[in-house]
Amino acid sequence: MGKASRRTFIRSAFGGLSIPFAGQAFQPSNQTDLNIDGVSEVQPQPDGYLSAIRQELEKQWPQNRLVNLVFHGHSVPAGYFKTPVVNMLEAYPFLVLKGLKDRYPHAVVNSIVTAIGGEDSRQGAARFTHQVLCHRPDVLFIDYALNDPRIGLEAAREAWTQMILAALQQNVKVILMTATPDQRIDITDKTSLLQQLCDQIDRLADTHQVGIVDSYRLFQNISASGGKIADHMSQVNHPNGKGHQLVADAILRYF
């Protein structure tokens, strides 16, 4: 399946930018109203990629089963706000869990966080089999872009590819996450290493036909609309609750 058939680009209310989502094609009749910094937009939900998971979440006892969501990455999914404070209950893995439980009251869902603060994707790949796949994820989220500039594009590509392939061999649904902001880096700079890493993640999602949540684009949209990135940050490189909710809302469009 080619890129054109894998995703649809939506016109955003933020500065005319387009927001990509992965998975199956969008169903325009299935829409979600969002309001970010007072700007309203209507976006279709990614449909198809997690359809089997949604069916499991809709089942009631005794037909239902445990559904495991595993969030693998660095300090952001681990819940670090203003270091050393770790606020896991306001970080996006648990905001997603809350959103799913609001939507699927009969579901039994685990939100399992295997993220370690300060880690890059090469370190995450080294412990992937024995600390991540051991949890038998139904859906796996990978979020390492923010720390990967220190290892570079090629090493990051190899590590992400290793994790993606290992998960797919176990029939795990994979959703890749681009970076949340680092305010020391100009978020509008299309040539920055962080932007290049996010672009590489997008290509990996396309190559392996897995999902993607483009967090970096969401924050770029805020900047393009005249909003302040700092309003969504607890420190220079960690989102606050508002920033985490932005990412969680994007993830929840898959469900």
Instruction: Give the structural domain span for 57.
Output: 47-252
**What pLDDT, on the 0 to 100 scale, is given for residue 171?**
97
Residue 221 is assigned to a structural domain of this protein: yes
Whole-number pLDDT of residue 23? 32
pLDDT band (50, 70, 90) for residue 231 = very high
Q: What is the pTM of this model?
A: 0.84
Q: What is the pLDDT of residue 16?
A: 32
> What local confidence, expressed as pLDDT, does residue 135 receive?
98
Q: pLDDT tens-digit profile of 49-89?
A: 999 999 999 999 999 999 999 999 999 999 999 999 999 99
**What distance in Å separates the CA atoms of residue 89 and residue 244, rounded to the nearest whole number?**
10
- Can you give the CATH number for the domain in which 103 is found? 3.40.50.1110
**What's the pLDDT at 213?**
97
What would the pLDDT profile of 197-226 be if each residue is shown by its tens digit? 999 999 999 999 999 999 999 999 999 999
- The per-residue pLDDT for range 170-198, each reduced to its tens digit, is 999 999 999 999 999 999 999 999 999 99
Q: Which value, to the nearest 10 degrees, does the dihedral of the CA atoms of residues 153, 227, 237, 9 take?
A: -30
Q: List pLDDT tens digits, range 89-113.
A: 999 999 999 999 999 999 999 999 9
In a domain, 14, yes or no: no
How confident is the model at residue 52, as a pLDDT? 96
Task: Decide if 41 is inside a domain.
Answer: no
In a domain, 15, yes or no: no
pLDDT of residue 30: 34
As for how many domains the chain has, the answer is: 1
User: CB burial class (10 A; 0-12, 13-18, 19+) of residue 131?
Assistant: middle
Q: What is the pLDDT of residue 7?
A: 40
16 domain residue, yes or no: no
Q: CA geometry: angle at 124 spanning 199 and 22, to 5°? A: 35
Average pLDDT of the chain, as a whole number: 86
- Whether residue 37 is contained in a domain is answered as no
32 lies in a domain? no
Mean pLDDT confidence for 147-171: 98
In a domain, 147, yes or no: yes
Among candidate residues 76, 93, 88, the one with its CA nearest the CA of residue 135: 93
